[in-house]
Copies of this chain bind each other. A is one copy, B any other.
């Protein structure tokens, strides 16, 4: 796993919590915030934006990554995700797939309980679940598979 400096971890965790404030969740009332750290040190934040069709909903992680890419940032070295739940909440499969398009499998992903750092006293690592894209999306399907020769 790549590693983040303590300072970068803390920046990401704080940014994910800030991002959550802009969630639009009239249907689930389940707010999520996400923040990516780009290779050149920028923080890009996103929140979940729901839709009356449900299927048109875009999660926090995807909001953040399309925001970044559409502004020219395509290389990321870390992601933090938080919600209103005092335990680690994981990206949905849709977001894992979209993250997969741009990020290395060993990119650190921090799943942060809503009560961090208060939760810190209850566990060895403040209740944060430290994982990676590769751990969350094993045997992933990616761009390279579309290039494989076909033999029907």
- On whether the beta carbons of B100 and A19 are closer than 8 Å, the reply is no
Taking chain A's interface residues, is the majority helix, strand, or loop, or is none over half, making it mixed? loop
What sequence of 0s and 1s flags, for each residue 60-92 of chain A, a beta carbon within 8 Å of any chain B beta carbon?
101111110111101000000000111111111
Contact among B22, B28, B131, B149 for A70, CB-based, below 8 A: B22
Q: In the assembly, how many copies of this chain are there?
A: 4
Instruction: Answer yes or no: A117 CB below 8 A from chain B CBs.
Output: no
Known: A51-B54, A93-B94; 15 extra A-B contacts, CB below 8 A, are A24-B74, A27-B28, A27-B146, A49-B66, A49-B98, A53-B57, A56-B101, A63-B66, A84-B150, A88-B139, A89-B145, A90-B139, A93-B98, A94-B94, A136-B139
